Amino acid sequence: MTAAQGPIADAVRDGTLPGRVWLYSNYHCNLACSYCLTESSPRSERRELTAAQMIAVAEQAKELGFTALGITGGEPFLLPWLPEAVLEMVQHLPLVLLNNGTLFVGERLERAAKLAHPGIALQISLDSHLPDINDMARGPDNFSKVVESVPRLLERGVQVRIATTTAGPLDSPALDPLKALVASWGVPADDHIVRPIVRRGRADERGLGVQAIARDIPSELCITADGAFWGSFGPTVRNGRLDTDLLLTRTILPLAVPANALLAAIGGMPQGADAALGIR
Ligand code: SF4
């Protein structure tokens, strides 16, 4: 297979542009976490991408020279067509699929089991080894649902990563018991992501997390039903309104339009402090 050609492929190869493209599949969620960037809840406006749009993004991202995909929400697994669309997307690029890990029972578990593929990782949120602390931010019974789901997925051959969002220092020893729990499932330490609460969305309303400006947020292209944004922390919602400070363009396809808009925005932008803030 020949390597992708053009300015986007060149920028990804030389590290100017991150290789991952993010997609917000939807904004509604079965949970309503206290620090949610998108104010997601069961009542949120859905703002869904279609399966056809998501597959087109995957195909065009590969053609342009991007190297990976990320899917987030809202809770992607609320979309009944998601597993089949993801299996088509991974024909083009490897992907990570962020989710809250609470929906893997019955038929939904067996449909998720189809995602046992070397190019697909499910990234599941878990914030503490203490059920009460975890559930304070994420909702009742969240801890027990996640610790039941992770082994079920692993037994079925699905790759699992764990994401921990914390208000404390990223290297705090207080996280050691959680790291031990994750390791006990056989999830490698590199696949346990620890990141700060970013002060956008519901976290901003509640005064939680680290302040971050554009250059602190990894400059990954992020596609939503409302347009294309700078970074996966770009399309946040505050007081019911979409933040547009990091909006690049309302056009999402063809993908070359937002990709070139992002490349133009990056030009001359000084390096930020994202590595120091640990935002990822
Ligand atoms: S943080 Fe994730 S799981 Fe929690 S409400 Fe927001 S989208 Fe749902």
List the structure tokens of 195: 């990141």
pLDDT per residue as tens digits for the range 158-196:
999 999 999 888 999 999 999 999 999 999 999 999 998
Is 100's C-beta closer than 6 angstroms to any atom of ligand 1?
Answer: yes
Q: What is the distance in A from the centroid of ligand 1 to the CA of 73? A: 7
Mind listing the pLDDT tens digit for each residue in 101-159? 999 999 999 999 999 999 999 999 999 999 999 999 999 999 999 999 999 999 999 99
Ligand 1 atom closest to Cα of residue 35:
1
For the stretch 214-271, pLDDT in tens is 777 789 999 999 999 999 989 999 988 999 999 999 999 999 999 999 999 998 565 5
CA of 37 to the centre of ligand 1 (A): 8
Please identify which residue in the block is written with the tokens 């976490």. Answer: 33
Q: For 128-193, where are the alpha helices, taking DSSP H only?
A: 131-138, 142-155, 176-184
Does any ligand 1 atom lie closer than 6 A to the CB of residue 75? yes
Ligand 1, atom 1, lies closest to the CA of: 36
- Amino acid code (one letter) for 121: A
Nearest CA to ligand 1 atom 3: 100
- Contacting residues for 109 by C-beta, under 8 A, at least 6 apart: 149, 152, 153, 156
User: What are the pLDDT digits (tens) for 18-61?
Assistant: 999 999 999 999 999 988 889 999 999 999 999 999 999 999 99
For residue 40, the CA-to-ligand 1 centroid distance in Å is 6
Pick the CATH number of 7-267 from 3.30.160, 3.20.20, 3.30.70, 3.40.50: 3.20.20
Pocket test for ligand 1, best of 25, 33, 134, 204 (most atoms within 8 A of CB): 33
Please write down the long-range contacts of 223-227, taking CB distance under 8 Å and 24 or more positions apart: 223/21, 223/22, 223/23, 223/24, 223/49, 223/57, 223/252, 223/255, 223/258, 224/23, 224/24, 224/47, 224/49, 224/252, 225/24, 225/47, 225/48, 225/49, 226/47, 226/250, 227/251, 227/252, 227/258
pLDDT band at 203 (very low <50, low <70, confident <90, very high): confident
> The pTM is what?
0.94
| Ligand 1 proximity of 142 Cβ (cutoff 6 Å) | no
Q: What pLDDT, on a 0 to 100 scale, did the predictor assign at position 18?
A: 96
> For ligand 1, is residue 32 a contact (CB within 6 Å)?
yes
Give residue limits of the domains in the chain: 7-267
